[in-house]
């Protein structure tokens, strides 16, 4: 069994908000001019992560199944005159890099994960085996357009960031425990986000052979 | 039963490149062969001819199933048998592009049959089924340090007692999406790469590649020590000019290599600024260590390069002969750059380093004690 503690939890559930409206809502979170080339996912994840004050000695674990769906769409549609800016922006860890490069803020570890029904388990396991004093778990998805028509993007936009320690500290918001147990289960990223957003507890199998207990205090 | 305090070791490792598996690739590098060929950057849609190293018989244009699947399946057949994908033996699949060639083909052709392979989760799931693994398959994607992240995650999961053994598989296969992207950045151009050599302008080549490693606490001859990561977050595609990112990443490896005589397998894509920074940082961290890079022959195999080149480094150590830096002409950036093959018997470790977009760095020491 491995255990961790959540201290700060930031969530953003914009529902059907348009990318333009998201930009207007969040641009004040970033330096002037920095948002010109930021993606919707970069704005959402960056805004949430920034509230945790990421530092050089933190480890950042970033979970997103489909990552930069709209930048991918636009990059592919830019061929045959491929856009170098969209190429850079479309890579999997881009949302975190958009914030951290904009702030010129190095970080020891960045662990970007993708996945499907087991993504939340894999991200939590990555957090709980990281040897850093503080791990910042962040993630999210952005709603795609033509990718969504093929089932290759999220149908929902959301983002979150949470700070996690292995040691108990005063004021922890929640405790989480991963333990081996017989049985099957899964916990996709959107479902995990809903537990963070609603501060709802969890006592369930989240992967074959793995159980997650999440208790809010 | 394995001692819970014994170090995690590499129990098996292999790769595929256009030259074949690890031993064949090592032999080709020793002969100074170059797998790169001038290929139109957009495949059947044409464009400038750029240096690409494709698997034999494979074209840049994707098919259904992907043209690379047979090669990965062959590589999968060389992975030692085990209950891979079970809670006790998880799998870590890493790469930077997964089925992106299928996504490009989907959009260009409108053929919906490309869709299933087109996302990292979808591509990995189909691969999981094809290779007969259970469901515990993590996916890591951090551009060209992806393989290092898989090795680190696998090591940590075993060290934490959460798994008995772990399999890391890394792959990246070229497509117009990837070639076109690097071509748009102008670092993939008509010139062939000459890693760690001074010339008027830098150039890289790209290559197909895949590799695997089985990590275990109970068995294996090779150990990965001082696994280290660092992210500069200075610029999307360039490094801090003071080389501090390279130095930060190598700090942990320097500690692990204390008292050892090592050689240095660098990233060495063929870009000038990054090459100079890497050579300078490696020479400061490991004075006297010969520096080699193999991407002038194999091309940059992107997210898989850390594992592909680990397999070649192990072949080098096993045969006591390491290939020198392969690539085009030019004056070496330093006397430390090994341009010819050299014996490894006098060394007791090799530092393996990779870099990626965002100023990401990853490195470890490979040793066999």
The interface pTM score, or ipTM, of the predicted complex is 0.98
Task: Decide if pLDDT at B212 tops 80.
Answer: yes
Position B1 scores a pLDDT of 42
> What residues in A contact B135, CB-CB < 8 Å?
118, 207-208
Position A181 scores a pLDDT of 98
B4 located within any domain: no
Q: Which residue of A has its CA nearest to B158?
A: A129
Residues B151 and B226 in one domain: no
| B87 contacts A208? CB cut-off 8 A | yes
SS3 sequence of A64-114: CCCCCHHHHHHHHHCCCCCCHHHHHHCCCCHHHHHHHHHCCCCECEEEEEE
A204 located within any domain: no
**For the segment B317-349, what is each residue's pLDDT rounded down to a tens digit?**
999 999 999 998 999 999 999 999 999 999 999
> What residues in B contact A93, CB-CB < 8 Å?
141-143, 358
**For the segment A79-136, what is each residue's pLDDT rounded down to a tens digit?**
999 999 999 999 999 999 999 999 999 999 999 999 999 999 999 999 999 999 999 9
A196 located within any domain: no
Residues B64 and B193 in one domain: yes
Decide which of B201, B216, B231 is a domain's last residue: B216
B47 located within any domain: yes
| B96 contacts A104? CB cut-off 8 A | no
Residues B359 and B256 in one domain: yes
Position B72 scores a pLDDT of 98
A102, A51 contact by CB (below 8 A): no
CATH no. for residue A158?
A: 3.40.47.10
**For the segment A144-170, what is each residue's pLDDT rounded down to a tens digit?**
999 999 999 999 999 999 999 999 888
Residues B106 and B159 in one domain: yes
Residues B173 and B55 in one domain: yes
Give the total number of structural domains in chain B. Answer: 2
Chain A closest CA to B3's CA: distance in Å?
Answer: 19
Residues B52 and B197 in one domain: yes
B2 located within any domain: no
Residues B33 and B157 in one domain: yes
Residues B194 and B326 in one domain: no
**For the segment B130-152, what is each residue's pLDDT rounded down to a tens digit?**
999 999 999 999 999 999 999 99
Residues B306 and B277 in one domain: yes
Supply the pTM of this predicted model: 0.98
Give the total number of structural domains in chain A. Answer: 1
At B284, the pLDDT band (50, 70, 90 cuts) reads: very high
Print the domain residue range for A99. Answer: 10-118+129-172
Of A66, A80, A97, which has the smallest distance from its Cβ to B47's Cβ? A80
Decide which of B216, B236, B254 is a domain's last residue: B216
A217 located within any domain: no
> What residues in B contact A105, CB-CB < 8 Å?
233
B146 located within any domain: yes
Task: Decide if pLDDT at A187 tops 60.
Answer: yes
CATH no. for residue B291?
A: 3.40.47.10
Residues B159 and B143 in one domain: yes
Decide which of B216, B248, B271 is a domain's last residue: B216
- What is the spatial distance between Cα A28 and Cα A50, in angstroms, rounded to a whole number? 12
Position A168 scores a pLDDT of 87
Residues B137 and B256 in one domain: no
Residues B123 and B158 in one domain: yes
Print the domain residue range for B120. Answer: 9-216
Task: Decide if pLDDT at B3 tops 80.
Answer: no
Task: Decide if pLDDT at B357 tops 80.
Answer: yes
Position A32 scores a pLDDT of 85
B268 located within any domain: yes
B1 located within any domain: no
A56 located within any domain: yes
B79 located within any domain: yes
At B244, the pLDDT band (50, 70, 90 cuts) reads: very high
């Amino acid at each position: 069994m491995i255990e961790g503690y959540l201290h700060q939890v930031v969530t953003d559930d914009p529902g059907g908000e348009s990318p333009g409206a998201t930009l207007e809502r969040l641009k004040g979170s970033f330096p002037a001019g920095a948002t010109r080339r930021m993606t919707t996912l970069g704005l959402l994840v960056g805004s949430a992560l920034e509230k945790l004050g990421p530092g050089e000695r933190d480890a950042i674990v970033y979970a997103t199944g489909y990552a930069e769906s709209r930048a991918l769409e636009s990059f592919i549609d830019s061929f045959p005159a491929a856009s170098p800016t969209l190429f850079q922006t479309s890579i999997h860890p881009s949302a975190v890099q958009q914030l951290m490069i904009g702030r010129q803020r190095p970080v020891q570890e960045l662990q970007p994960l993708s996945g499907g029904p087991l993504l939340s388990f894999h991200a939590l396991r990555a957090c709980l085996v990281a040897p850093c004093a503080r791990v910042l778990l962040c993630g999210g998805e952005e709603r795609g357009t033509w990718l969504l028509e093929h089932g290759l993007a999220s149908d929902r936009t959301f983002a979150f960031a949470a700070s996690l320690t292995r040691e108990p500290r005063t004021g922890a918001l929640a405790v989480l425990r991963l333990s081996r147990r017989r049985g099957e289960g899964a916990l996709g990223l959107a479902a995990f986000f809903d537990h963070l957003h609603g501060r709802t507890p969890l006592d369930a199998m989240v992967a074959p052979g793995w159980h997650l207990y999440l208790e809010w205090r | 039963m394995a001692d819970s305090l014994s170090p995690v070791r590499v129990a098996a490792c292999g790769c595929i490149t256009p030259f074949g598996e690890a031993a064949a690739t090592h032999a080709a590098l020793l002969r100074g062969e170059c797998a790169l060929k001038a290929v139109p950057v957009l495949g059947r849609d044409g464009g400038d001819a750029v240096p690409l190293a494709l698997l034999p018989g494979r074209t840049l244009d994707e098919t259904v199933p992907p043209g690379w699947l047979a090669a990965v399946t062959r590589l999968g057949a060389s992975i030692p048998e085990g209950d891979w994908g079970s809670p006790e033996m998880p799998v870590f699949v890493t790469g930077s592009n997964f089925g992106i060639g299928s996504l490009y083909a989907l959009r260009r052709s409108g053929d919906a049959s490309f869709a299933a392979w087109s996302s990292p989760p979808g591509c990995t799931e189909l691969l999981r089924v094809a290779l007969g693994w259970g469901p515990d398959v993590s996916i890591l994607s951090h551009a060209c340090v992806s393989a290092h992240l898989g090795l680190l995650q696998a090591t940590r999961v075993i060290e934490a007692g959460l798994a008995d053994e772990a399999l890391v598989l890394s792959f990246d296969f070229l497509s117009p999406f990837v070639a076109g992207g690097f071509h748009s950045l102008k670092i993939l151009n008509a010139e062939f790469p000459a890693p760690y050599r001074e010339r008027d302008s830098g150039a890289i080549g790209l290559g197909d590649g895949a590799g695997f490693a089985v990590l275990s606490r109970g068995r294996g001859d090779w150990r990965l020590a001082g696994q280290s990561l660092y992210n500069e977050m200075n610029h999307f595609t360039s490094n801090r000019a003071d080389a501090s990112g390279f130095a930060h990443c190598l700090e942990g490896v320097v500690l692990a290599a204390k008292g050892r005589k090592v050689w240095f397998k660098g990233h060495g894509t063929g870009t000038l600024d990054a090459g100079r920074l890497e050579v300078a940082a490696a020479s400061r961290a490991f004075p006297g260590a010969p520096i080699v890079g193999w991407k002038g022959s194999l091309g940059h195999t992107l997210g898989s390069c850390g594992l592909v080149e680990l397999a070649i480094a192990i072949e080098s150590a096993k045969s006591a002969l390491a290939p020198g830096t392969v690539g085009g002409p030019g004056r070496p950036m330093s006397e430390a750059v090994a341009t010819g093959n050299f014996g490894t018997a006098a060394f007791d470790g090799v530092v393996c380093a990779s870099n990626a977009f965002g100023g990401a760095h990853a490195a470890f020491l490979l040793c066999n004690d």
